[in-house]
Amino acid sequence: MRILMVLAHPLEDSFAASVARAAKEALEGRGNSVDLLDLYREGFDPRLSAAERASYFAERYDASEVAGWIERIRAADGLMLVFPQWWFNFPAILKGFFDRVFAPGVAFEHDPAGGRIIARLTNIKLFWALTTTGSPWWVVRLYMGDPVRRLLKRGIAAFCSKDVEFRMFCLHDMDRATEAKRKRHLERVRTLVSRI
């Protein structure tokens, strides 16, 4: 399987980078190919351009500035996102990736009758998120309603792909996690990902 792994963290020595390395090694160890797209290292600009927004409902979306990233997602069988949750949401650079790359004619088509959008990323059969939160699980799930999971599963994966396997694996309470807890989490990531 060809996996596009999208890493969204500004620090090269972050825990998210460690998760991405562990997952990539486990995937490649099982014979999968991994295209690591490190949004910060590649200089991805998360700002939707005027041309992109102006063409959003036009006959053809202006994807000229993000064409390389679009080709990478079109070449993938699976998508694996690795990122921290900040303020119960995506890092801005990852939100910009969705805004600019998951665009009309790429991830979906507008329904001409004005109904539900039509999925276009039918090549994506696996959609996973490996993430962390600074809050305990009960704050994220019970108090906040697990917003990132809902957005990814219901608002992106379900609208942009069909028959996709969605999974989200999260280390909660990251700000207080001991080194031992982080190591255990990395081992769980390796085990989980090695089943792909």
Please report the pLDDT score of residue 174 as a whole number: 93
**pLDDT over 80 at 114, yes or no:** no
pLDDT of 38 > 80? The answer is yes
Q: Is the pLDDT of residue 111 over 90?
A: no
pLDDT value at position 117? 86
CA neighbor of 34 nearest in space, from 8, 66, 1: 1
- Which pLDDT value is given to residue 59? 86
Share above pLDDT 70 across residues of the chain, in percent, rounded to a whole number: 100
Q: Is it the case that residue 115 has pLDDT exceeding 80?
A: no
- The string of pLDDT tens digits covering residues 129-185 is 999 999 988 988 888 889 999 999 998 998 899 889 999 999 999 999 999 999 999
CATH 3.40.50.360 for the 2-193 domain, yes or no: yes
Backbone angles phi, psi at 169, to 5 degrees: -125, 120
> Looking at residues 114-133, what average pLDDT do you find?
92
pLDDT of residue 51: 94
Rounded CA gap, 82 and 84, in Å? 7
Report the candidate in 188, 196, 156 with the shortest Cα–Cα distance to residue 172: 188
pLDDT tier at 121 (50, 70, 90 boundaries)? very high
- Average pLDDT rounded to a whole number, residues 65-69: 97
Q: pLDDT value at position 49?
A: 94
Pairing of strands 108-109, 78-84: unpaired
- Which pLDDT score is estimated for 139? 84
pLDDT score of 68: 97
State the DSSP string of the chain.
Answer: -EEEEEE--S-TTSHHHHHHHHHHHHHHHTT-EEEEEETTTTT---SPPHHHHHTTTSSS---GGGHHHHHHHHT-SEEEEEEE-BTTB--HHHHHHHHHHS-BTTTEE--TTSSS-EE--TT--EEEEEEE-SS-HHIIIIIS--HHHHIIIIIIIHHH-SS-EEEEEEE-SGGG--HHHHHHHHHHHHHHHTT-
The structural domains of the chain, with segments of one domain joined by +, span: 2-193
For 141, residues 6+ apart whose C-beta sits below 8 A from its C-beta are: none
Question: What Cα–Cα distance (Å) separates residue 181 from each residue in 110, 174, 184, 188?
Answer: 45, 9, 5, 11
- Tell me the C-alpha distance between 40 and 91, whole Å: 11
Check residue 41 and give its pLDDT: 98
